[in-house]
Copies of this chain bind each other. A is one copy, B any other.
Amino acid sequence: MRIVVDAMGSDNAPEVEVEGALQAAQEYDHEVILVGDEVAVKRELDKHGGANDKITVVHAPEKIEMHEPAALSVRRKRKSSIVLGLDLIKHDKADSFISAGNTGAVVCAATLSLRMLPGIERPGIAIAIPTMKGTTVIIDVGANIDPKPIHMFQYAVMADAYCRYILHKPSPKIGLLNVGEEESKGTEFIKEAHTLLSESKLNFIGNIEGRDIYVGNADIVLCDGFVGNVILKVSESVVDTLVKMIKNEIQSSVIATIGAALAGSAFASLKKKMDYAEYGGAPLLGIDGRVIISHGSSTAKAIKNAIRVAAEFKTQNVNRHILEELETV
């Protein structure tokens, strides 16, 4: 198994990428190819005793920054870690690609370089989030902000295969995010998607609302990339805000401070459950290849887990299952 990691992607690159790669090489015995600024990457490797036979460094003299326009930067920076890293997949020199960098650029470069799976028109980013009942996958969280109803149907098929073969849910319940449960609700776009899903053999449970997501009423939540992006950012922000408000309130009382210290173990345990790093990044589904997008603020553990998931996509043949499902649903 050979996994390519964009060493320049995250906010703390290349530190966390190098550390995550070393952990994955040791823990899973995968080969990791780090693509990025050779000097910077080797400096990080030296902190951990230098490279070993599981780690290769490929020099990329350019880096696409977080806020560069996606299409333009991919076209101009042919020597960037994202473009060169995906080239390795394209030319069969590696199995999967991971980046915590500019999501738009990764989506654009992967689509151009690896192309789509036959029968899939647009890629979708599928992210697993913790809920009251376990894990729910939201697709799409930002690959395509203006999809057509048929793309929503294709997201459902792809996320279904992801749930079955990576998250090991035998018959995932698929919900369409809407403003109400009734079939009559929503825009024309949503109603058309509803019809396509109802006519399929997928385990489609109908419309669900925003409040159903974290309750865990669906295993898969379908939405356009604009809405998905907003959901993720709002959710993170609500949690952050609530935690900050709790801290402020607690600090204003001595007794509450003592109480919070005693309750600390409960918070730590909760934090572990909510930790995105455990999930190892979000697959970019629909690409004829294996691409995992990690959070910009990824830790080394998140990169390590992304490498694990990237490898599972190959061993579990997720793309083949997507193609099979497309034929039968």
Contact = CB atoms under 8 A, between A and B. Distances in A.
Contact of A234 (B214, B242, B262, B266): B214
Contact of A255 (B145, B233, B265): B265
A329 interface: no
A196 interface: no
Contacts of A229: 179, 209-210
Interface in A279-314: none
Total copies of the chain: 2
Contacts of A237: 210-215
A315 B213 CA distance: 41
B244 A242 contact: no
Nearest to A181: B67
A249 interface: yes
A186 interface: yes
A286 to B, nearest CB: 19
7 contacts: A69-B182, A69-B184, A215-B237, A231-B234, A235-B238, A246-B266, A249-B270
- The 10 tightest CB contacts between A and B, nearest first, are A259-B262, A210-B233, A259-B263, A249-B266, A256-B266, A214-B241, A210-B234, A211-B233, A210-B230, A238-B238
